Structure 1
Amino acid sequence: MRHIAVIGAGAIGQLIAEELTDRGHRVSLVSRSGSTRAAGVRSVAADATDPRALAEALGPTGASGGYHDVVVNAVNPRSYTAWERDWPPMSEAISAVCERTGAGQLIIGNLYGYGRVDEPMTENHPFSPEGPKGRVRAQMWERALQKHREGAMAAVELRASDYFGPTARAGVSLLMDYVVRPVLKGRTAWVPMGDLRAAHSWSYLPDIARLAADLAESDQGGPRWGRPWHVPTAPPRSMREVADEVAELAGLDRAVVRKVPGVVMAAGRLHPLVRALDETRHQFEHPWILDSGAAQREFGRQPTSWSQALLETIDGCAEGRDAGRKN
C-alpha cells in the first residue's frame, strides 16, 4: 500500500483518487475547496499557487508521520486563459515539495507541446509547440525530466488527448460540450472550429485514471519513470462520426452537426477564451492521432472499446439530467 496525494479535484483528479482507493492505497485529494465525492479519500483544502499552503497540505500524515510516496499533479488553473500566468508557479511549488519530501511526481499532461503534426504522435515525437500554452506544458515536463535525471525528484508524465466521459464537467471537454450533450438534447451540434471530418483521438476518462494508477504503483527507479506515456486510446473518430454514433446508440434521429460560421468566430475573437482556443486550431483542422501502443504493450492495457465508452458516457449524461430534475 502506498500513500498518494492527488492535487486537483476535477474530473481526472477525482477518478484517479477513486481508482487508487479501490486498489487499496491511502489517498489524499488536495483541492482549493477541500471537497471530494470519493469514499475513503482524505480531503485537504489548499491552493496549489501558494507554496506554503501546499507544503503544509503535503506534509507528514497519519500516526507514522510519513510523507506521501507519490504526488499526482492533476491540477489546472482556474481559467483556460490563465495557463501562462498560473502554471509555472504551481508546477514549481509542487516540484519543490516533491524534492523536499522525496515523493515522486506523476504529471497529468496533454498533447499541446507537440504542435502541428502530419503523422500519429508517439512519446518520441519532438516538442514544437504552436503557442504559449504548449510552451508552458513542454517546459513543465522538461524541467521535471531534468530533475529526474539529476536525481533530485523522480518524475513521469501521462499524456492524454482531448478527453470525454460520464463525469466530464461542463466547460472542460470540447467533445462533450459541443457534440455529445447537444446531440443527446436533440439540438444541432455547433462546433466552433476545425474540419468536422478530420480524424481525432479522444481519450476516455477511466482509461486515464487506470494508467495513472499503474504508474503510481510502478517503481520510481525503474524504466517506467523518467519518461512520458500516452494513455491507451481508441482509434480516432471525426466529430461528425461521434455525433452520428451518439445519436444511434441513444436511439435518436440522425444528428445534425454544423460548424459555427466564420463571421461569428471572427467576432468572437474579441473574447479572451475564443482567442485562446486559436492555439489549438491545428488539432481539429487536420488529423490529430495519438499512438498509445507503447503503454498498451508495457502495461497490458487496451483502451475501453469505443462503443462501451460512448454508452457509459450517454448513461452518465442521463443520470446527471435525472439528478438535476430531483434537486
Structure 2
Amino acid sequence: MQTILGAGGPIADELARELHREFTHDIRLVSRHPSLVNTTDELVAADLTDAEATSRAVAGSDVVYLTVGLPMDSGLWEEKFPVMMHNTIAAVKEHGAKLVYFDNTYMYAGTPEPQTEDTAFAPNGRKGAVRAEIATLLLKEMETGTIDALIGRAPEFYGPGKTKSWTNTLVFDRIRAGKRPFVPVSASTRRSLIWTPDASRALALMGNTPDAFGQTWHLPIDQDRLTYRQMIEIASQVTGRKIRYTVLPRAVFVAGARFIPTLREANELLPRYRGDNLFDTSRFAERFPEFQVTPYRRGIEEILAQD
C-alpha cells in the first residue's frame, strides 16, 4: 500500500496517476474530502491535525507521501503544518512505513547564489520559518534513524490543469485569456520553475527507490533557465501573436499589501524575483540519468494548448 496524505492537489493527483502507471494499483488517497484519481484508489477521509485520524490513515502503508498544501496564510501555516508533520512522523513510526515529504524552497534566502541540497535555511518571513521548522524536525528524525524518509524539494510551479503559482496566474493564464501578462518584479532574471507532472513523477520514482531514502533531493527541472521575457517570447511564437507584458515592480506589491491580504502574504517571496533564482538539481540528475525532464518550451506549449 502506498498512501498520499494531502490528496486533491495537482502534485498529489499526478502522483497517484504515476504510481498507478508505473508502480502499484494499491493506492490510498487521504484528505478531508478525497476523490478518486484512479478507479482502484482507496479513499480515506482524515484531518491530519488529528493524531488518531492520521494514524488510521497511515496504517497498513509501506510508503507514505506527505503532499499537503495550505492557503497562503502565515497564521494558518504556523497553526497547522507543525502539527501535521508531528502526527505524520508519529504515524509512520508506529506503522513502520517509509515517508516521502514534498517540500518547497521558502526556507532558502532567495538570493542569486545557486541553491543546492546543502544550502542553509535563511527564511525571509513567517511562512519560510514554518517550512524551515518542519523540515528541520524531519531531518533530525532522519539523522537519528528513527524513521526511513526522504525530502523532495521543489521551486515554484508551472504546469497544466489546476496548477497554481504566480507564473501560471500572472503570466500564462492571462496569455490564454488573451490578456496582457504581468511579470513579478523583473523580466530579465533567470527563473527556476518545475513542471508539476515532473515533480510528481520524480516523487513516485524516489519513493520506490530504496537508496533514495535518508537524503534531501532537489526535484528535477530544465536547467536551461529562462527569464520571463524569454518565456513570453516563446508564448508569442506558440500563439502566433506579439505578446506585450507589464512588469509589476516591488512597490506595487508593497502598496497593495496594505489592502489585499494575499499580496501581504506574498511579500516575503519578492526577494527571489529580484535576482536570478538558480535551483540546482544535479544530484537528482546524476542518480536518475534516465529521467526525462520536460523542457520549458514543451511545457509552455502544453499550457497554452489547454481549453
In structure 2, the CA distance between the partners of 1:57 and 1:78, relative to structure 1 (3 Å rule), is farther
Q: Which amino acid in the other structure matches residue 76 of structure 1?
A: G
Q: Does 1:298 align with 2:287?
A: yes
The 1:79/1:276 distance shift into structure 2, 3 A limit, reads: closer
TM-score by length of 2: 0.92
- 1:71-90: CA deviations, max 9, x gaps? 10001124444222221111
Select 1:259's aligned residue among 236, 247, 251: 247
Residue in 2 that maps onto 1:186:
178
Deviation at 1:164, TM superposition (A): 1.2
Are 2:57 and 1:68 equivalent residues in the alignment? no
Secondary structure of the corresponding residue to residue 44 of structure 1: strand
Q: Provide, for residues 250-297 of structure 1, a one-character-per-residue CA deviation record: whole Å limited to 9, x for no partner.
A: 33x211211236665344212222111111111111100111111011
Deviations 1:154-210 (A, max 9, x none): 1111111111111234xx21111000011122211123x321211111100111011
| Residue pairs, 1:1-327, within 5 angstroms | 3-8=1-6, 9-25=8-24, 26-59=26-59, 67-81=60-74, 82-169=76-163, 172-191=164-183, 193-219=184-210, 222=211, 224-234=212-222, 235-251=224-240, 253-260=241-248, 264-270=252-258, 271-300=260-289, 301-315=291-305, 317-318=306-307
Q: How far apart in 1 are the matches of 2:216 and 2:176? A: 35
Amino acid paired to 1:312: E
In 1: Cα distance, 2:110 partner to 2:157 partner = 19
Q: Is the 8 A contact 2:14 2:200 kept in 1?
A: yes
In structure 1, what is the Cα distance between the partners aligned to 2:15 and 2:279? 21
2: CA distance, partners of 1:120 / 1:208: 20
Going from structure 1 to structure 2, the CA distance change for 1:186 and 1:212 (only over 3 Å counts) comes to: same
My pick for the range that moved more, 113-122 or 19-28, is 113-122
Q: How far apart in 1 are the matches of 2:113 and 2:196? A: 24
C-alpha distance in 2 between matches for 1:48 and 1:36: 19
Segments of structure 1 that go 5 or more residues without pairing to the other structure are 60-66, 319-327
CA RMSD of aligned residues (A): 1.7
| Cα distance in structure 2, aligned partners of 1:57 and 1:136 | 24
Q: How many residues align?
A: 301
Q: Which runs of 5+ in 2 are unaligned?
A: none
Output the CA distance in 1 between the equivalents of 2:32 and 2:249: 38
SS in 1 for 2:107: helix
Superposed CA offset, 1:44-98 (max 9, x none): 2112222222222222xxxxxxx11111000112444422222111111111111
* Range moving further from structure 2, 39-48 or 16-25: 39-48
What secondary structure, in the 3-state scheme, does the structure 1 residue paired with 2:61 have? coil
- Equivalent pair of 1:35/1:45 in contact (CA under 8 Å): no
